[in-house]
Amino acid sequence: MHRFILLGLLPLLGLTACGDKDDDTGSTAEADADTDSDTDSDTDSDTDSDTDSDTDADLTGIALSTDATEVDSDQTITFTVDGETDDGSSVDLTLDADATSGDEDIFRIYETGVAQPVGDGTATLTVSYGGFEDSVELTITAVAPTDGDLVINEVLTDGGAEGDPNGDGTLDKTDDEFIEIVNAAAYSVDLSGVTITENEFAFLPRHTFADGSILKPGDAVVVFGGGDTSNLSVDNAWFVVADNEDAGTLYGLDFSDNGDRIAINDADGNALASVAYGDHVLSSCDAVKDASLTLDTDITGTLYVDHTTVGAGPFSAGTMADGTAFEGPDGVFSE
Ligand SMILES: [Ca+2]
Ligand SMILES: [Ca+2]
Ligand SMILES: [Ca+2]
Ligand SMILES: [Ca+2]
């Protein structure tokens, strides 16, 4: 009964418990009693104050705010979530709120409070907590690639290699040639107007990327000389057929078997990446027949080698040499 009464009084005692403890430090006679009451009253007063603050300050809504709503793909957007309460106070809920991207091809949430661009366009960031929700439209503009962003990871210059690289069921020495390009940058790039050239028609692009050609970080694009790529599908890669309205398109990409220089150029004609092989004057590697030239190792390597010496089979259009998918944005931004 005594214990019950004491506990019942403790919430009141708790209001001054901290001050009492200091004051009583020198009093051994009351030390035990104070220690007990401090311990109990701390527990009770914490409980009471939590209850009180919940009661006094109910959540009435949440507010999402961002440091920007339109950014280039090489930037990020930071956001915070504030809880609004009926007593007029505000609490930071950024760590606790759920945050989702309306389109993970445009931005994704890898880190609390950060919208990471991975593509191009507008999508909705929605946050929710305690039955409340807020949202904002975020617009990402993919930047044009600059020197070093794009890597020529693989080229099949002998389109007659065994197999059917473009997957259209027809073996064709022109159509099945390809170039595999990887975005090695940590942001999406807009390939609109980017061209692929070779030596014989150096000023006549063999391919010009269409408007809206976005390459996500860690993704690959494979350009074939011709045919139909609709049967090809792998993660973190897309496929396209050379688009050239000039007469030169008869030759597709025109990657000469014995030697050539293949270049990727920005929309203004500045070289972004190139590879020379075989009998080209700038050649740094031998021409390869019946297989592709591929970087050893994928993306980060500096030497082009016969694909059969490092990979699974004679070529690997849209995958790494061993056949596994490129890492894509999740591989770039997740730990
Ligand atoms: Ca084919
Ligand atoms: Ca060829
Ligand atoms: Ca050529
Ligand atoms: Ca490959």
CATH code, domain carrying 115: 2.60.40.1080
Domain finish residue from 141, 163, 190 = 141
Domain membership of residue 70 as a residue range: 59-141
Residue 138 amino acid letter: L
The candidate with the shortest Cα–Cα distance to 123, out of 138, 105, 142, is: 138
Q: Is the same domain home to 109 and 183?
A: no
Please tell me the distance between residue 74's alpha carbon and the centre of ligand 2 in angstroms: 36
Q: Is the same domain home to 129 and 211?
A: no
Domain finish residue from 141, 162, 182 = 141
| pTM of the predicted model over 0.95 | no
Q: Is the same domain home to 116 and 211?
A: no
Q: Is the same domain home to 75 and 210?
A: no
pLDDT at 282: 96
Please tell me the distance between residue 275's alpha carbon and the centre of ligand 1 in angstroms: 24
Q: Is the same domain home to 166 and 294?
A: yes
Please tell me the distance between residue 178's alpha carbon and the centre of ligand 3 in angstroms: 13
Residues with C-beta atoms within 5 A of ion ligand 4: 154, 180, 316
Please tell me the distance between residue 89's alpha carbon and the centre of ligand 4 in angstroms: 56
Please tell me the distance between residue 241's alpha carbon and the centre of ligand 3 in angstroms: 17
- Give the number of the ligand closest to the Cα of residue 157: 2
Task: Flag residues of the chain having pLDDT under 70.
Answer: 1-56, 245-249, 335
Q: Report whether the peptide linkage leading into residue 195 is cis, meaning its omega lies within 30 degrees of zero.
A: no
Domains held by the chain: number? 3
pLDDT at 247: 59
- Give the number of the ligand closest to the Cα of residue 324: 4
Please tell me the distance between residue 260's alpha carbon and the centre of ligand 3 in angstroms: 6
Please tell me the distance between residue 174's alpha carbon and the centre of ligand 1 in angstroms: 9
Q: Is the same domain home to 117 and 186?
A: no
pLDDT at 31: 37
- Give the number of the ligand closest to the Cα of residue 288: 2
Q: Is the same domain home to 72 and 214?
A: no
- Give the number of the ligand closest to the Cα of residue 198: 3
Please tell me the distance between residue 146's alpha carbon and the centre of ligand 3 in angstroms: 25
Domain finish residue from 117, 141, 165 = 141
Please tell me the distance between residue 326's alpha carbon and the centre of ligand 4 in angstroms: 9
Q: Is the same domain home to 189 and 251?
A: yes
Q: Is the same domain home to 179 and 311?
A: yes
User: SS3 sequence, the chain?
Assistant: CHHHHHHHHHHHHHCCHHHHHHHCCCCHHHHHHHHHHHHHHHHHHHHHHHHHHHHHCCEEEEEEEECCCEEECCCCEEEEEEEEECCCCEEECCCCCEEEECCCCCEEEEECCEEEECCCEEEEEEEEECCEEEEEEEEEECECCCCCCEEEEEEECCCCCCCCCCCCCCCCCCCCCEEEEEECCCCCEECCCCEEECCCCCCCCCEECCCCCEECCCCEEEEECCCCCCCCCCCCEEEEECCCCCHHHHHCCCCCCCEEEEEEECCCCCEEEEEEEECCCCCCCCCCCCCCEEEECCCCCCEEEEHHHHCCCCCCCCCCCCCCCCCHHHHHHCC
Q: Please, is 104 exposed, middle or buried when counting C-beta atoms within 10 Å of its C-beta (0-12, 13-18, 19+)?
A: middle
Please tell me the distance between residue 230's alpha carbon and the centre of ligand 1 in angstroms: 11
Q: Is the same domain home to 158 and 222?
A: yes
- Give the number of the ligand closest to the Cα of residue 318: 4
**In whole angstroms, what is the distance from residue 42 CA to residue 7 CA?**
11
pLDDT at 3: 40
Q: Is the same domain home to 206 and 286?
A: yes
Please tell me the distance between residue 255's alpha carbon and the centre of ligand 3 in angstroms: 4
**In whole angstroms, what is the distance from residue 30 CA to residue 54 CA?**
35
Give residue-wise pLDDT tens across range 25-64: 333 333 343 444 444 444 444 444 444 444 568 999 999 9
- Give the number of the ligand closest to the Cα of residue 166: 1
Q: Is the same domain home to 34 and 156?
A: no
- Give the number of the ligand closest to the Cα of residue 304: 4
